[in-house]
Structure 1
Amino acid sequence: MIELGSNDPDSGRDSGTVCGRFSIAIDGKIQRCVIYLSIVALALTSLGYDPFLRVEERKAAEAAEAEAAYESFYAGLEEEADEDADDIEINYQPNLYLARILTPCLTCWLITKSNDLHLVNTICGLGHLAVSLFYMFLMLSRDVNALVSICGFISEIFWAGKIVLYYYQILSLSDVTDRYANIIYGVIAQSFGASLLPWIVNSLEESWEQSQHIINIAVALIHLLLFHPFGHCEESSKQGSFEANKAYKFQTLVSISTLSVIILSAISNVTLQWFLNNNETLLRSFLPFFVGDDAWETFWNVVYHGIAFTFLGFFCIFLSTSQVLFAAFLVNFLAGTAYLYLEEDIAARLAIPTGAFTFATALALLAELCPRDRLIPLLGIIFVIVNTATYGYFGLLTLFWSSPDIVIIVVWAANGFFALILAVLWRELSQLSREDRVARPDRSGSFRTVITTIS
């Protein structure tokens, strides 16, 4: 036992060793807490939605119902209604979509310049809370729509910026063995949060018109409080075990293929959301949001998500990250093809979570190949690409004679062609050098433990 005041020179060294190990253990616990809270925060970001757009969508739905009831009395108007149905109106929503596209660069610049995650969390938390409160006061006062649009633009900047920030925290603080699992958990949390939002909002709007404002304010306040106790976590983040994986022989080929998968998956999910929502709501690149879902439809949508993520999760046990990427992309393509030929909504609702899983796997694979000093630019590029997918779909829609049917055929043909390319490159993408294969850590991490426990 070490006594205080001992003159033994080894006692000081032992004491320092013990204190150092205790400090490392504390830092490790802080890192895990921040990672878990980031996953929770990602789930909460899925509950965010623009309130003014929500009001417009509700008014449009009520007007459509009234028009349908009126036209039911006049059989002669059916032909005119059919002619009008052929006209596709694209709602570009520049105040919301452009905010998503610009935000990743702004957030990554802020993280780089500040070099302090706690400061960036505080700025995003306080700014978002202030904007959400001001937004609600403007809507209550029925003020000028221009100010409301500006508030919606700034609010969307904070929503999109927080997603980038929380994924950066997960990537930078996770151990090499747990990084992939934590990214998957984050995407699952986001997807289930987005699935539950229609039921929450539709239930509250019946008794409270401003429910979306209250949800946004509550989420902004919780985000502000979540990371407040961890003001010193930047010290532990600098000690995180983040290293590039050199085991892949063809890293450039893997990177290009993975970025192509991200682009195709994002456009494919936007295409499916366009069809499932009948062009009635804001499109999300890899998250579900079905504005018309009631409680029963929401329940089944959550069940479909559980089936999709559980099925794809088993791939993580037996396959490497690059092989899981190909398998998830193939499942996403097959589900989308089933929707294309069978016109069954269940297939599309299964394809959207498989697309989210594919995105998460691609993000993890790029993080494996990326050194720590390039992680922030990589995140910026990835989320800019993902958020631009909506305008990519609009461009295809304009190019192909405003025909969504032609666009979905072209998009899924591109998916099928690229799936064949990945099948040809399967061996090259997943080939490892022998010495690295033996020493390579198990990337499935805690995900393997969870699946094994369930089994």
Structure 2
Amino acid sequence: MIELRGDHRHSSSVLSFESRPRSSFDNQSVVRVVPSCALYFSVVALALTGFGYDPFTRVAERKAAAEAEVEAEVAGFYTGIEEEAEPEDDIEINYRPNLYLARIMAPSIVCWMLHGSMHLRLVRQIVGLGHFLVGVFYMIFGLASDVNGLLMGCGFVSELFWAGKMVLFYYQIIVFSSGSDRFSGVIYGVVAQCLGSATLPWILDELEEHWEGTQYVLNLPVSAIQLAMFLPLELSKKQPEELFENDSSFKFPKLIAVTSFSVVILSAISNVTIQWFLNNNETLLRPFLPFLAGDDFLGTFWNIAYNGIGFTLLGFFCLFLNTSHVMIASFLTSFTAGLIYLYFEEEIAARMILPMTGFTCGVAFALLLELCPQNRLTLLMAVVFSLVNLATYGFFALLALLWNSPDIVIIVVWAVNGFFGLGLLVLCRELGQRRMQLELEPRRDASGSFQTVITTIA
């Protein structure tokens, strides 16, 4: 989608966190310190959200993997095992409503709190302290009790806080950054989130070799660190008002908004689809927070390297293109990587798709922020993050409709991506020509004479 503005500003070409305080604030030192702390701490906290894997689910998955390994060893002693194997299309879908529904509900709850009479400081206290206390009870119940219902309830509340924190950290990035730095902040948040989740499998595997209940304890210090990151903001006696500046002047805002929402949905579903193939239906499917259980130290190292390569490649687009063109370029790049995976069945391409789709979704979200008025910021965030978390059930619905065949699902998803990418290119070309016609049209000035306004497309 071409970025059609009256006065084009190339805001996405510089990636920085330079804070620009407003002159109306009384305490200039607080104005300088608080936004910077909020931005940097929010990015680091987003990296830590990748460690928020559900402990009860993790223990159950490890037991299931161990039992499957034993059954495979026993089955190896028998002949004709290939003939007795279950058909490949007999796939069990684990809907896990206690975890997936919590992630879907969390954005609406947090954004409702932010939109209401609650101040951002109060919301931080509720989310930070609440998550820490839930982590304490979850650890106690997990280590001292085997009641599955109780542990699943704790998992629901814990996942609710994890997903709510993710929305809160992005909200802080948005409201504490200037308009020119907002795109950079969102992208840095996506990068940190993906890199944080990429390191989780290796850390867990190393620690669980000594104790299988490691995940119960790991979530507690992570939530404590995130709580401590709020302290510099809480200690300030005066904080700047959380203002969301927006002065966009798009000529086709509704069309650009629909396109951006479509990119968010397609990127999230594509991300979950690739996770299914990489994880072999063995772990949770959470958009842009993949958990690749089979990664040892070397696998984790290469996964982080693939994330770095993917983000570096797409980062070059930010240096030369505006926000809308970056969205198109990153969308087509992730689509191309998917074609390579479908044709060559190379796992490297699949691992590259995970950060690429996350980057594309982040760019589309940043473009939506440029279109969003100040009074609808929380509504936009609730809708976007709820749609992202709904992608898991969207994939399950496609799997159920398409004869329980993941191969057919990924072909259909990538075909839709291809048609949508082609539509983006055609629409971009047509809108570019339309803008040229509008700018070359003679316009009558105040004196009644005609003048031709010719501007260059930025």
TM-score, normalization: structure 1?
0.88
Whether 1:66 aligns to 2:70 is yes
Q: CA deviation at 1:239?
A: 5.8
Whether 1:211 aligns to 2:214 is yes
Partner of 1:189: 192
Whether 1:391 aligns to 2:393 is yes
Cα distance in structure 2, aligned partners of 1:117 and 1:438: 42
Cα distance in structure 2, aligned partners of 1:266 and 1:124: 25
Whether 1:76 aligns to 2:80 is yes
Cα distance in structure 1, aligned partners of 2:68 and 2:258: 45
Cα distance in structure 1, aligned partners of 2:292 and 2:399: 21
Moved more, 34-43 or 24-33: 24-33
- Deviation track 1:239-286 (CA, whole Å, cap 9, x = no partner) reads 64611411x211111000000000001000100000010000000112
Partner of 2:374: 372
Whether 1:52 aligns to 2:51 is no
Cα distance in structure 1, aligned partners of 2:48 and 2:30: 27
Cα distance in structure 2, aligned partners of 1:336 and 1:237: 44
Cα distance in structure 1, aligned partners of 2:48 and 2:304: 16
* 2:132/2:220 contact within 8 Å kept: yes
Alpha-carbon spacing, 1:20–1:117, altered in 2? closer, same or farther (3 Å): closer
Cα distance in structure 2, aligned partners of 1:336 and 1:60: 30
Cα distance in structure 2, aligned partners of 1:187 and 1:438: 33
Cα distance in structure 2, aligned partners of 1:353 and 1:291: 17
Alpha-carbon spacing, 1:110–1:343, altered in 2? closer, same or farther (3 Å): same
Whether 1:410 aligns to 2:443 is no
- Deviation track 1:262-313 (CA, whole Å, cap 9, x = no partner) reads 0001000100000010000000112332011111111000000000000100
Cα distance in structure 2, aligned partners of 1:112 and 1:38: 20
Matches within 5 A, 1:205-284: 205-231=208-234, 236-238=239-241, 240=243, 242-246=245-249, 248-284=250-286
* Shift >2 Å, 4+ stretches: 19-26, 83-86, 231-241, 427-435, 437-440
Query: What is the aligned-residue identity percentage?
Result: 54
SS in 2 for 1:314: helix
Q: CA deviation at 1:236?
A: 4.4
Q: CA deviation at 1:427?
A: 3.9
Alpha-carbon spacing, 1:53–1:241, altered in 2? closer, same or farther (3 Å): closer
Cα distance in structure 1, aligned partners of 2:372 and 2:25: 29
* 1:191/1:287 contact within 8 Å kept: yes
SS in 1 for 2:245: coil
Cα distance in structure 2, aligned partners of 1:137 and 1:239: 38
SS in 2 for 1:75: coil
Matches within 5 A, 1:162-177: 162-177=165-180
How many residues are treated as equivalent by the alignment?
A: 420
Matches within 5 A, 1:84-123: 84-123=87-126
SS in 1 for 2:95: coil
- Between Structure 1 and Structure 2, which shows a larger proportion of helix residues? 1
SS in 1 for 2:27: helix
* 1:328/1:357 contact within 8 Å kept: yes
Alpha-carbon spacing, 1:32–1:327, altered in 2? closer, same or farther (3 Å): same
Cα distance in structure 2, aligned partners of 1:234 and 1:97: 39
- Deviation track 1:91-112 (CA, whole Å, cap 9, x = no partner) reads 0000000001111111111112
Cα distance in structure 1, aligned partners of 2:70 and 2:87: 17
* 2:59/2:213 contact within 8 Å kept: no
Q: Tell me which of 140, 155, 161 is aligned to 2:164.
A: 161
Q: Tell me which of 144, 151, 167 is aligned to 1:148.
A: 151
SS in 1 for 2:40: helix
Partner of 1:134: 137
Partner of 2:27: 23
Cα distance in structure 1, aligned partners of 2:375 and 2:236: 19
Q: What is the one-letter code of the residue matched to 1:181?
A: S
Cα distance in structure 2, aligned partners of 1:176 and 1:375: 14
Partner of 1:341: 343
TM-score, normalization: structure 2?
0.87
- Deviation track 1:162-204 (CA, whole Å, cap 9, x = no partner) reads 0011111111111111100111110000000000000110010
Cα distance in structure 1, aligned partners of 2:58 and 2:430: 47
Q: What is the one-letter code of the residue matched to 2:256?
A: V
Unaligned runs of 5+ in 1: 1-18, 441-455
Q: What is the one-letter code of the residue matched to 2:49?
A: T
Alpha-carbon spacing, 1:234–1:306, altered in 2? closer, same or farther (3 Å): farther
- Deviation track 1:397-428 (CA, whole Å, cap 9, x = no partner) reads 00011111111100000000000010011246
Matches within 5 A, 1:437-448: none
Cα distance in structure 2, aligned partners of 1:20 and 1:110: 27
* 2:37/2:232 contact within 8 Å kept: no
Q: CA deviation at 1:36?
A: 0.7
Q: What is the one-letter code of the residue matched to 2:67?
A: A
Q: CA deviation at 1:394?
A: 0.3
Partner of 1:43: 47
Cα distance in structure 1, aligned partners of 2:150 and 2:233: 35
